[in-house]
């Protein structure tokens, strides 16, 4: 048994002082409030629960910053996608594992303890299937095991380039499966899932799957997380209207049985009616505010959606920058810029913006990744220790700590991270950063020279 004693910790009951958290194996076995530290306890100042990163394409970390350069025509999401397709063309399974491990270390070091890996790189560089259908999936799982981050694997079904079953493009050849091959992939993933890994399913988008395929995919893992990209770009909304007569989220809500197991990634472009209906569905909106800003997607109507009781979570998506505090900051700031007002994602009952969006992302993230979590008995021991000596946090207490972490810190405020009972990050650094960095560096040296 290990015990961690915290001056202050954010428990399900709120902030508490002098908290002793006992860990047996991977789980929290006791939480005692208002108790002095014992000599054998590890001591820290501020503890909050670890967060879920609900949407990652880990390999894209390797090209972060390399698409911020104007191309021959006006750049937008679609021209970025071409750059991204050219980058992934070169990656072999070892490369993906090395890049994913580096990305997962950055996630752990900034306070994420579980990742939803929206994994669609299945085939070899020629588009041929590997002998083992889970060849590539095994690499992102391997990266999660090597770094210790929790894994919710979301194998992606991708078969078409646009609505109506349009044939896939050359750049998409590594993503493709038919339904039988995809069922085999799911089976192979099940066999290699880590102990507390979760396996969901991810129809890529309404562009990449047909209505008939979506119906079968929904049945493949009932009750497990189901993630889909939806309404990120206006072009997709227009194509959906032209093809189905309905907007993407409107169509999903009317036809696909969207419920609490679903996570709609982005859901950027919503009418007021769609916003309210999505909130009422019980599904989680998987927002990726940093990537959405980077790609010029648009602004999610978070004020109305939260007021309607909608559930949110955040993801790092393209991994252009990995940090949950910056995702939450970008989310609130996008609302301030569009409404020209302040403190928009707080409410009268929950006046701290930082606390409100941290709590929402924590709860919605767990739901979206198929786990329950928090600093309570029986939960996985996933805990983030904030650095009380960081200038942005000094002199703050309670919810002010979250407000200051999210809005006032330039650098990362995370001092230590415990995940499934193991201390993986100390003094802001993952214990295996050096090895993972060396391997990442060798891969980047090679692929950037190609």
Could you give the CA distance from residue 437 to residue 147 in angstroms, rounded to a whole number?
Answer: 12
Which residues participate in catalysis according to the annotation?
A: 266, 317
Distance CA 426, CA 429 (A): 5
The Cα-based distances of 204 to 152, 264, 357, 362, 375 in angstroms read 16, 11, 27, 24, 33
Q: Which range, of 37-45, 132-140, 162-170, 311-319, touches Zn ion by CB under 5 A?
A: 311-319
Shortest-Cβ-distance residue relative to ligand NGQ:
57
Q: Is 55 in the site for ligand NGQ (CB under 6 A)?
A: no
Which residues make beta-bridge pairs with 421? none
Element counts in the chain: helices (H) and strands (E): 14, 17
Residues 244 and 250: their CA atoms lie apart, in Å, by 10
Q: Which does 113 bind (CB under 5 to 8 A by kind): Zn ion, ligand NGQ, none?
A: none
Task: Confirm or reject binding of residue 160 to ligand NGQ (CB under 6 A).
Answer: no
* Residue 448 β-bridge partners: none
Residues in region 302-321 near ligand NGQ by CB under 6 A: 317-318
Which of ligand NGQ, Zn ion, none interacts with 232 (beta carbon under 5 to 8 A by kind)?
ligand NGQ
User: How many CB atoms are located within 10 Å of the residue 422 CB?
Assistant: 13
Spatial CB neighbours of 246, under 8 Å, sequence gap ≥ 6: 240, 254
Q: Which is nearer to ligand NGQ, 123 or 291 (CB)?
A: 291
List the single partner that 250 binds among Zn ion, ligand NGQ, none, CB under 5 to 8 Å by kind: none
Window 244 to 303, contacts with ligand NGQ (CB under 6 A): 291, 295
Contact criterion met (CB below 8 Å) for 100 and 59 = yes
* Binder of residue 81, out of ligand NGQ, Zn ion, none (CB less than 5 to 8 A by kind): ligand NGQ
| 316-335 binders of Zn ion (CB under 5 A) | 317
The Cα–Cα gap between 206 and 249 comes to 10
Q: Is position 360 an interface residue for ligand NGQ (rule: CB under 6 A)?
A: no
| 329 CB-side CA count, 13 A | 15
Site for ligand NGQ in 199-238 (CB under 6 A): 205, 229, 232
Q: DSSP letter at 261?
A: T
# of chain residues touching Zn ion (CB under 5 A)? 1
Work out how close the CB of 418 gets to ligand NGQ at its nearest, in angstroms, rounded to a whole number.
31
Residue closer to ligand NGQ, measured from CB, 236 or 323: 236
Which residue, 140, 139, 185, 131, is CA-closest to 158?
Answer: 185
- Residue closest to Zn ion (Cβ): 317
Q: 120 vs 358, which CB is nearer to ligand NGQ?
A: 120
390 binds, among Zn ion, ligand NGQ, none (CB under 5 to 8 A by kind): none
- Interface with ligand NGQ (CB under 6 A), residue total 9
- Residue partners of 366: CB distance under 8 A and separation at least 6: 52, 372, 373, 374
Residues that bind ligand NGQ (CB under 6 A): 57, 81, 205, 229, 232, 291, 295, 317-318
Residues that bind Zn ion (CB under 5 A): 317
């Amino acid at each position: 048994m290990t015990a961690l004693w915290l001056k202050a910790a954010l428990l399900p009951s709120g902030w508490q002082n002098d908290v002793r958290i006992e860990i047996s194996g991977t789980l929290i076995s006791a939480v005692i409030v208002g108790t002095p530290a014992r000599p054998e306890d590890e001591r820290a100042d501020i503890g909050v629960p670890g967060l879920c990163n609900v949407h990652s394409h880990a390999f894209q970390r390797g090209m972060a910053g390399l698409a911020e350069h104007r191309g021959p025509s006006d750049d937008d999401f679609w021209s970025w996608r071409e750059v991204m397709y050219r980058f992934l063309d070169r990656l072999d399974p070892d490369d993906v594992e090395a890049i994913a491990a580096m990305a997962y270390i950055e996630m752990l070091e900034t306070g994420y303890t579980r990742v939803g890996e929206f994994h669609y790189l299945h085939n070899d560089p020629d588009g041929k299937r590997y002998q083992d259908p889970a060849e590539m999936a095994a690499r992102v799982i391997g990266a999660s095991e090597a770094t210790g981050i929790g894994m919710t694997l979301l194998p992606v079904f991708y078969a078409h380039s646009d609505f109506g079953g349009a044939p896939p493009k050359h750049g998409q050849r590594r993503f493709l499966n038919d339904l039988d091959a995809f069922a085999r992939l799911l089976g192979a993933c099940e066999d290699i899932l880590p102990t507390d890994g979760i396996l969901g399913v991810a129809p890529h988008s309404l562009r990449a799957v047909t209505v008939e395929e979506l119906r079968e995919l929904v049945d493949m893992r009932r009750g497990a997380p189901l993630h889909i990209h939806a309404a990120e770009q206006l072009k997709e909304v227009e194509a959906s209207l032209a093809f189905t007569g309905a907007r993407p989220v409107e169509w999903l809500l009317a036809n696909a049985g969207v419920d609490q197991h679903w996570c709609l990634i982005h859901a950027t472009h919503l009418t007021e009616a769609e916003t309210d209906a999505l909130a009422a569905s019980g599904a989680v909106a998987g927002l990726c505010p940093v990537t959405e800003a980077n790609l010029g997607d648009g602004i999610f109507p978070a004020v109305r959606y939260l007021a309607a009781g909608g559930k949110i979570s955040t993801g790092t998506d393209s991994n252009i920058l990995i940090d949950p505090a910056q995702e939450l900051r970008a989310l609130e700031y996008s609302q301030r810029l569009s409404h020209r007002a302040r403190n928009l994602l707080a409410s009268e009952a929950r006046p701290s913006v930082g606390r409100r969006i941290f709590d929402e992302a924590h709860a919605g993230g767990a739901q979206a990744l198929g786990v329950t979590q928090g600093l309570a008995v029986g939960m996985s021991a996933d805990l983030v220790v904030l650095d009380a000596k960081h200038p942005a946090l000094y002199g703050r207490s309670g919810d002010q700590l979250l407000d200051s972490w999210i809005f006032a810190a330039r650098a990362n405020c995370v001092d230590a991270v415990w995940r499934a009972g193991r201390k993986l990050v100390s003094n802001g650094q993952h214990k295996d950063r050096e090895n993972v960095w060396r391997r990442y560096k060798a891969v980047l040296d090679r692929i950037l020279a190609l």
